[in-house]
């Protein structure tokens, strides 16, 4: 089914979601950098807490 | 007199008027809970940041409990039952088997909610002995009035019967369509309910066997660690019970709104099966700092939790790919340029996309929560509410509100009162939550505690790397206020839509997936198999920890005094003790006096 704003129909075989891949890779990169920051700077870099 | 339009499809209301009435009633129950929950939310945000204190700090936990229970039990689950009824009826293309039965489970859920809410609000009236200041995490030693536990029990029974209603529809549909694959939306509903049936075993035992008899005075004491563990047995899968309706909307409605088609029906089915399997055997990751549970069990829970990232990442890929398909069909090009071709002026689309974006951020803080060692950094700090306001508070809540803008006209045959207000509403929610949740995460890293009315200590300063705690508090308060404004805009918009003229042809059919159900193995639809495996995984994950807790403390012990404690009976208990000690003290005094002489 196509919507009212559809310019062209794209079938399953002609669609490669490379834009999605790019966004997911950026997300993974952000996750990795933030994890490294949280673990090495915030977790290991701080003093002992009441819990640790 | 309704204004007739010549074009457009019939709506859900046109096809199933009786079912549409139940769906509307369930959604209204959800929105009333949301509105009340938002009032208690903004009171809290302003109180703990010391900007405006409308209540006494002693009432803070009543407010906190009301906010938590109304939002994550009433708002979310009423929306779920409304949406699932719509999805089941729509995808099987048949009405419910008995509308009286459907109204019965809805009535039970309403009755249960009213009982629990009366018990909670009783906390504001000191003249009564009714209170339930136990927070949403209502395990022992926190003790509520029996009305609270009774209400919860009736509410959960209502959800069980609702699930049975949808399975009943499936049975009837299957008898007429023996060779068909289960329609995707119905598949999502059924797998979610199987997960719910397993998950609620924990809370049913905790409430009916322990907490309710304890609050009635049948037992003097119960095992707090046992009820905590049973609570979290349910307390983690319940987050997926909130989330699965949002996933259903992302998979089946969002692609259509974006102008595209779902990328893969088989992937969507696989994701729901994975959630059925993995949601429950992970609850112990909420108990990393609980003494009394061996570290090994906690490591198993952590491993299972990390596996749960898989279906969420599959969802991120499939949903974004479906939206990209829509953008490219709308003429979008380039590696990122397609994002511009999307219908950002549509509040339903923008709301769901912003909700998904917040969920991606929540995925990160969730990874920190789930790590057994790094969890110590943020455990019991305000980081944790910061996390779940991204997940249930935005990914779920904002998706529900955005989807309502799409669904409501099909349930009422009336257009929305204002689409520009709706668009502003979803953006205000996003900005408000961005501020509030960011402040909560940062404050959590500095050790600011959660669940505290007055986190301002004498002679103690929270040290920040940059900025100040005052600045973060302000951010939290502004964010909380924006969220309240956003809720008011949402509920008013829906309420005012009742005054819009009746139209016909407002139905919006959903697009077919690019890769349909027949591209997936039939075993995916074998619900008995997945239920069996899920059950075995839960037995494996929980039997040893529960046996260990019971063998150490006993089924009903070691007991502790219930909280909140009542001071007067304590005085009464001490009186005979003091009286019995008096002769002894008298003799002691005589002896001491004799020695002195």
Provide, as residue numbers in chain A, all residues whose Cβ is less than 8 Å from the Cβ of B324. 17, 19-20
B415 is known as an active-site residue: no
pLDDT tens digits along A1-52: 456 688 889 999 999 999 999 999 999 999 999 999 999 888 888 776 555 4
Reported as type and span, the H/E element at residue B62 is helix B60-69
Rounded to a whole number, what is the distance in Å from the CA of B109 to chain A's nearest CA? 38
**A10: which chain B residues are within 8 Å (Cβ-Cβ)?**
325, 328-329
Q: How many domains are contained in chain A?
A: 1
Q: How far is B368 from chain A (nearest CA, A)?
A: 8
Closest among B398, B384, B301 to B349, alpha carbons compared? B398
Choose from A18, A20, A34, A35 for mutation: most chain B CBs within 10 A. Answer: A20
Nearest to A1 among B289, B360, B511 (CB): B511
The partner residue sitting opposite B259, judged by closest CB among A6, A46, A51, is A6
Phi, psi of B513 (to 5 degrees): -65, 155
Longest Cα–Cα distance in chain B: 113
Closest CA to B38 of B281, B342, B397, B284: B397
* B67 counts as catalytic: no
Torsion of CA B205, B211, B214, B219, to 10 degrees: 30
Q: What is the pLDDT along chain B (597 residues), one digit of tens a residue?
A: 344 444 489 999 999 999 999 999 999 999 999 999 999 999 999 999 999 999 999 999 999 999 999 999 999 999 999 999 999 999 999 999 999 999 999 999 999 999 999 999 999 998 888 999 999 999 999 999 999 999 999 999 999 999 999 999 999 999 999 999 999 999 999 999 999 999 999 999 999 999 999 999 998 899 999 999 999 999 999 999 999 999 999 999 999 999 999 999 999 999 999 999 999 999 999 999 998 899 999 999 999 999 999 999 999 999 999 999 999 999 999 999 999 999 999 999 999 999 999 999 999 999 999 999 899 899 999 999 999 999 999 999 999 999 999 999 999 999 999 999 999 999 999 999 999 999 999 999 888 999 999 887 666 677 776 778 889 999 999 999 999 999 999 999 999 999 999 999 999 999 999 999 999 899 999 999 999 999 999 999 999 999 999 998 888 877 677 777 544 444 455 556 556 666 665 666 565 555 444
| Whole-number pLDDT of residue B351 | 98
- Is B329 in Cβ contact with A10 (below 8 Å)? yes
**Chain A residues in contact with chain B using a Cβ-Cβ cutoff of 8 Å:** 1-3, 5-12, 15, 17-20, 22-24, 27, 30-31, 34-35, 38-39, 42-43, 46, 49, 51-52
Q: Considering B285, B286, B387, B473, which one is annotated as catalytic?
A: B387
What three-state secondary structure class fits B360?
helix
Sign of the torsion angle spanned by Cα atoms B499, B502, B505, B507: positive
List b or e across A6-22, with b for residues whose CB sees 16 or more CB atoms inside 10 angstroms: eeeebeeeebebebbee
CB contact under 8 A, A27 and B330: no
CA distance B267 to chain A (A): 14
Q: Which DSSP string do the residues of B218-271 spell out, in sequence order? A: S-S---HHHHHHHHHHHHTHHHHHHHHHHHHHHHHTHHHHTTS--S-HHHHHHH
Judging contacts by C-beta atoms under 8 Å, the chain B residues touching residue A52 are 376-377
Other C-beta atoms closer than 10 Å to the C-beta of B561 total 11
| B236 tagged catalytic | yes
Distance from C-alpha of B514 to C-alpha of A36, rounded to nearest angstrom = 38
Range of the domain at A23: 13-52
Q: What does the pLDDT read at residue B5?
A: 46
Helix B527-553 to helix B224-235 angle, to the nearest 10 degrees? 160
CATH 1.20.210.10 is held by the domain B12-589: yes
Query: CA angle at residue B73 from B71 to B76, to 5 degrees?
Result: 70
Find the Cα–Cα–Cα–Cα dihedral A22, A24, A29, A34, rounded to 10°: 150
Asked if residue A3 is part of any domain, the answer here is no
Cβ(B145)–Cβ(B130) under 8 Å? yes
For residue B396, the 8-state DSSP code is I
Task: Of B286, B236, B137, give the one whose Cα is nearest residue B538.
Answer: B236
Sequence-distant (6+) residues with CB within 8 A of B380 are: A51, B289, B449, B450, B451
Residue A7 maps to a domain: no
Active site residue B518: no
ipTM above 0.95, yes or no: no
What is the Cα–Cα distance from B249 to B239, expressed in whole angstroms?
16
Q: Do B330 and A1 touch (CB under 8 A)?
A: no
Q: Which residues of A touch B321 (CB under 8 A)?
A: 17, 20
pLDDT on residue B467: 73
Contacts of A40 in chain B (CB under 8 A): none
Distance of alpha carbon B435 from alpha carbon B451, whole angstroms: 19
pLDDT at B577: 58
Q: What is the pLDDT of residue B176?
A: 97
C-alpha closest to that of A22 among B90, B528, B336: B336
Find which of A7, A8, A14, A17 to mutate to test the B interface (most B CBs within 10 Å of its CB).
A17
Closest alpha carbon to B397 in B48, B75, B55, B6? B75
Nearest-Cα residue of chain A relative to residue B288: A51
Count of other CB atoms within 10 angstroms of residue B535: 16
The closest alpha carbon to B544, from B200, B297, B372, B284, belongs to: B297
* DSSP string of B428-441, one letter each residue: HHHHHHHHHHHHHH
User: How near does any CA of chain A get to the CA of B520, in Å?
Assistant: 15
Chain B nearest-CA distance from A22, in A, is: 7
Contact A9, A2 (CB under 8 A): yes
Looking at chain B, which residue has its C-alpha nearest residue A5?
A: B330
- DSSP class of B503: B
Half-sphere exposure of B278 (CA within 13 A, CB side): 19
Examine residue B564 and say whether the peptide bond preceding it is cis (omega within 30 degrees of 0).
yes
**B22 in Cβ contact with B85 (< 8 Å):** yes
> Are residues B336 and A46, on separate chains, in Cβ contact within 8 Å?
no
- What residues of B are in the A interface, CB distance below 8 Å? 256, 259, 261, 263, 289, 316-317, 320-321, 324-331, 334-336, 338-339, 343, 360, 363-364, 367-368, 373-374, 376-377, 379-380, 445, 447, 509, 511-512, 514-515
DSSP letters spanning B120-185:
HHGGG-TTSS------SS--TTB---HHHHHHHHHHHHHHHHHHHHHHHHHHHHHHH-TTSPPPHH
pLDDT at B462: 74
Span B88-108, pLDDT tens digits: 999 999 999 999 999 999 999
In a domain, A48, yes or no: yes
Contact A19 B515 (CB under 8 A): no
B416 and B408 in contact (C-beta within 8 Å)? yes
Query: Does residue A18 lie within any of the structural domains?
Result: yes
Long-range contacts of B32-37 (CB under 8 A, 24+ apart): B33/B70, B33/B71, B33/B74, B33/B75, B33/B78, B33/B113, B34/B70, B34/B71, B34/B75, B34/B397, B34/B487, B34/B490, B34/B491, B35/B487, B35/B488, B35/B491, B36/B66, B36/B70, B37/B66, B37/B67, B37/B70, B37/B71, B37/B74, B37/B75
């Amino acid at each position: 089914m196509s919507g009212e704003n559809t310019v062209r129909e794209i079938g399953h075989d002609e669609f490669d979601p490379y834009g999605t891949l790019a966004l997911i890779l950026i997300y993974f990169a952000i996750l990795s950098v933030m994890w490294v920051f949280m673990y090495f700077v915030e977790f290991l870099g701080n003093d002992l807490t009441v819990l640790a | 007199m309704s204004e007739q339009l010549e074009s457009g499809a019939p709506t859900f209301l046109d096809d199933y008027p009786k079912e549409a009435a139940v769906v509307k009633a369930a959604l209204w129950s959800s929105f009333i809970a949301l509105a009340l929950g938002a009032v208690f939310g903004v009171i809290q945000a302003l109180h703990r940041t010391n900007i405006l204190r409308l209540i006494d700090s002693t009432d803070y936990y009543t407010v906190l409990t009301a906010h938590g229970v109304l939002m994550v039990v009433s708002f979310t689950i009423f929306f779920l039952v409304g949406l699932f009824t719509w999805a089941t009826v729509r995808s099987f293309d048949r009405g419910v088997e008995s509308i009286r039965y459907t109204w019965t489970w809805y009535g039970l859920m309403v009755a249960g909610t009213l009982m629990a809410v009366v018990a909670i609000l009783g906390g504001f009236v000191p003249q009564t002995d009714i209170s339930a200041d136990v927070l949403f995490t209502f395990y022992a030693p926190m003790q509520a009035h029996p009305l609270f536990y009774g209400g919860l029990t009736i509410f959960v029974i209502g959800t069980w019967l609702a699930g049975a209603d949808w399975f009943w529809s499936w049975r009837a549909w299957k008898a007429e369509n023996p060779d068909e694959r289960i329609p995707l939306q119905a598949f999502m509903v059924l797998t979610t309910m199987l997960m719910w049936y397993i998950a609620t075993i924990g809370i049913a035992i905790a409430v009916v066997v322990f907490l309710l008899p304890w609050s009635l005075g049948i037992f003097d004491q119960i095992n707090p660690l046992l009820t905590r563990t049973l609570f979290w047995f349910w307390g983690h899968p319940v987050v997926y019970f909130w989330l699965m309706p949002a996933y259903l909307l992302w998979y089946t409605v969002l692609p259509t709104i974006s102008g595209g088609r779902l990328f893969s029906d088989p992937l969507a089915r696989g994701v729901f099966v994975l959630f059925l399997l993995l949601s429950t055997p992970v609850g112990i990751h909420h108990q990393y700092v609980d003494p009394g549970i061996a570290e090994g069990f906690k490591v198993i829970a952590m491993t299972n939790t990390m596996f749960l990232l898989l279906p969420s990442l599959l969802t991120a890929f499939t949903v974004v790919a479906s939206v990209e398909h829509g953008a490219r069909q709308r003429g979008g090009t380039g590696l990122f340029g397609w994002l511009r071709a999307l219908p950002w002026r549509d509040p339903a689309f923008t709301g769901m996309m912003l909700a998904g974006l917040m969920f991606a951020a929540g995925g990160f803080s969730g990874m920190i929560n789930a790590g057994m060692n790094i969890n110590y950094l943020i455990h019991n700090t305000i980081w944790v509410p910061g996390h779940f306001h991204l997940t249930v508070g935005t990914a779920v809540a904002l998706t529900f509100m955005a989807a309502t803008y799409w669904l409501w006209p099909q349930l009422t045959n009336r257009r929305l009162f204002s689409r520009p207000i709706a668009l502003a509403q979803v953006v205000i929610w996003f900005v408000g939550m961005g501020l509030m949740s960011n402040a909560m995460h940062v404050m959590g890293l500095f050790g600011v505690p959660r669940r505290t009315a007055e986190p301002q200590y004498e002679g103690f300063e929270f040290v920040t790397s940059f900025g100040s705690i005052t600045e973060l508090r302000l951010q939290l308060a502004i964010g909380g206020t924006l969220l309240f404004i956003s809720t008011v805009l949402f509920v008013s918009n829906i309420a005012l839509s009742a005054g819009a003229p009746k139209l016909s042809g407002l139905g919006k059919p959903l697009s077919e997936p690019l890769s349909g159900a027949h591209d997936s193995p039939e075993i995916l639809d074998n619900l008995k198999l997945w239920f069996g495996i899920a059950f075995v995984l839960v037995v494996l994950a929980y039997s040893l920890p529960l046996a260990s807790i019971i063998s150490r403390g006993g089924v009903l012990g070691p007991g502790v005094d219930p909280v909140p404690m009542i001071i007067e009976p304590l005085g009464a208990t001490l009186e005979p003790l003091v009286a019995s000690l008096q002769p002894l003290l008298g003799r002691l005094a005589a002896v001491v006096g004799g020695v002195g002489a």
